[in-house]
Amino acid sequence: MAPRQVVVVGAGPGGLRTVEQLRKKGYDGALTVVGDEPHAPYDRPALSKQVLLGKAEPTALALRGAEQLAALGADFRLGRRAVSLDVPEARLELDDGDTLRFDALVLATGCGARRLQIGAGLAGVHYLRSLDDAVAVRAALATARRIVVVGGGFIGCEVAAAARALGLEVTLVEAAAAPLAPILGGRVGELVTQLHVERGVTVRSGTGVAGIDGGTRVESVRLSDGSEVAADVVVLGVGTQPSTDWLAGSGLTLDNGVLCDRHCSAGTGVFAVGDVARWYNPLFDEVMRIEHWTNAAEQAAVVAANVQAYLAGGAGAPLADYAPVPYFWSDQYDTRIQFAGRTRAGDDVHLLPPAGDGRERVALYGREERLVGALAMNSPRSLLRYRQAIGARASWDSTLDELAGVGA
- What confidence score (pLDDT) does residue 312 get? 94
Domains, in order of start, for the chain: 5-112+248-316 (3.50.50.60), 114-236 (3.50.50.60), 334-405 (3.30.390.30)
Percent of the chain past pLDDT 90, that is, above it, reads 90
**Best CA proximity match to 283, nearest among 270, 302, 269:** 302
Read off the pLDDT of each residue in 223-251 and give the average, rounded to a whole number: 96
Mean pLDDT of 43-71: 91
What band does 407 get if pLDDT is binned at 50, 70 and 90? very low
With the C-alpha atoms ordered 108, 278, 50, 167, is the resulting torsion angle positive or negative?
A: positive
Confidence bin at 309 (pLDDT 50/70/90)? very high
What's the half-sphere exposure (Cβ side, CA atoms, 13 Å) at 60? Answer: 9
Band (45; pLDDT cuts 50, 70, 90): confident
Separation of alpha carbons 254 and 359, rounded Å: 42
pLDDT, tens digit, 9 for 90 and up, residues 141-182: 999 999 999 999 999 999 999 999 999 999 999 999 999 999
pLDDT category at 339 given cuts 50, 70, 90 is: very high
**For residue 56, what pLDDT is reported?**
87
pLDDT of residue 316: 86
Q: What is the mean pLDDT of the chain?
A: 94
d(CA 296, CA 305): 14
User: What's the pLDDT band for 223 if we cut at 50, 70, 90?
Assistant: very high
What is the per-residue pLDDT for 2? 59
Is the predicted pLDDT of residue 275 greater than 80, yes or no? Answer: yes
Predicted local distance difference test score (pLDDT) of residue 406: 53
Sorting pLDDT into bands at 50, 70 and 90, what band is 405? low
At 196, the pLDDT band (50, 70, 90 cuts) reads: very high
Look at residue 211 in the predicted model and tell me its pLDDT. 96
pLDDT digits (tens, 9 = 90+) for 346-377: 999 999 999 877 889 999 999 999 999 999 99
Checking if the pLDDT of 1 tops 60, the result is no
